Amino acid sequence: MFSEEEKNTASAKIALTWLLHLRWGAVAAQVLLVLAAFFLLEINLPYRIISGILIFEITTNFLFGFLTQANGISALTQFFSVQKAQKKTSNLLKKKETTMTYRLFVLAMFLDTALLTGLIYYSGGPLNPFTFLYLVHLTLGAILMPPVWSWSLAFFTTGCYATLFFLPAEGSLNQPCHPDPAMFETLSDPLKIHLQGMWVAFAVTAFFIVFFVSRIQLALSRHQKTLADLQEEKTKSERMASLATLAAGAAHEFATPLSTIAVAAGEMFHALGNNNGANTKDLLEDVNLIRDQVKRCKDILFYLSADAGEHLGEAFTYFSLDGLMAALIHALPEPLKNQIRYSNKMGELYLRMPQRTLRRIVRGLIKNALDAAPSTPVLVECRQDPTRLYIEITDNGAGMAPEIVAKAAEPFFTTKEPGKGLGLGLFLARSAAEKFGGGLTIISQPGKGSKVTLFFDLKQITAGGVFNG
């Protein structure tokens, strides 16, 4: 899947590419119009100035073409980052690349509007029938630019059109269909009002286009985000279903041999209990070890099934959060237990939810923190606000880079050595919390440790709450 910055960069490059196509089409049309005016209509225009404007457009087209086709924007972004002697992560470089691409697009839109104004000014001014081409730039800008730049372009374009009425007349049409621009002051009042009314109509149309297109774009972007969120939820559900299938298969395969071992160990235990032989003590210890391992295997099966998104019908129990946390910390080995600094800032709180599931996911988060910060204190804090319960685990470990934080809660993503973890802990903790109206957040900086916050909707986990499964 693509990151958000990669999507934004791709969108910006697509916008710049289509603008480049439009500019080439505009140059071709303008050249044809100039040739027709010179050879067919024999209109007297300042062709040197107009040719200079067209040559400038062609030059900038080649420049934009180089930037879009040869990864020039990426090279330019990296160049400026190196020049500033800043250490940039790949995500930050992508963000800067997106920003620079949009800046080039905005620059091109304003530049094209200014160049079009120059062409119109030297070919009839407000009398030129092609003033409507301003609307093409406005519409494209409203579709592809953020609202603040769309409105800026609308005001800029309207101002450029207005200046045509105040600048000294240049060029001479000398045609019956259009009077000489120098004679504009001698035009009849109705014609003046008509030309000025065209500007007013243009301004109203421009602002309506920007307003409605911006609103439509906003609605479409919200709709696309909703669809993307739904697709993400669907993908997560499919992954959970796959894990559930895996867990069910494992449970089916292990159930029979584990039951057999449990029965055999029980018979051995009772038989050896009546045996006074010299090795009875050692045998009893071995049998107890077998029984403990069987119990552990059963717990693993429960956790595996719970990890797959099923709680094996675990009932909702009414329990004290403080008691659960105390028991969880007490069950840790002695060296690890001493690293925990537990704090409860909300007093006694009773929850109604699957107790073993909560214990499992919190224990997993604490274990991650202990692994990340060996021999240093790990802070575990419980707090609440009017709507949510928060369980925060903070370590003083090495921390994570932003790109690692962005992927940390994805399934099967791990930075641990092979065999040290499957990369499911954070993903499963978040999934379990989301079933109770909550979620999971990660705040981390390289060299400064990490804070993982698990939160739940209080209405869904306190007495009388409704489970949103």
Which residues have C-beta within 8 Å of that of residue 372, sequence separation ≥ 6? Answer: 395, 397, 398, 449, 450
Angle between helices 355-372 and 425-434 (to 10 degrees): 140
Residue 269 has pLDDT above 70, yes or no: yes
Q: What is the tens place of the pLDDT at every residue in 21-31?
A: 888 888 898 88
Q: How far apart are CA 162 and CA 465, in angstroms?
A: 64
Please state the rounded mean pLDDT for residues 345-369: 86
Is 178 buried (19+), middle (13-18) or exposed (0-12) by CB count in 10 A? middle
CB neighbourhood size of 390 (10 A): 17
Q: What is the tens place of the pLDDT at every residue in 114-152?
A: 999 998 888 878 878 888 888 888 888 888 888 888 899
Q: How far apart are CA 214 and CA 149, in angstroms?
A: 11
Q: What is the tens place of the pLDDT at every residue in 314-356?
A: 678 889 998 999 898 888 888 888 889 999 888 788 898 888 8
3-state secondary structure 47-76: HHHHHHHHHHHHHHHHHHHHHHHCCHHHHH
Residue 267 has pLDDT above 60, yes or no: yes
CB neighbourhood size of 273 (10 A): 10
Give this prediction's pTM: 0.50
Name the average pLDDT for the chain. Answer: 76
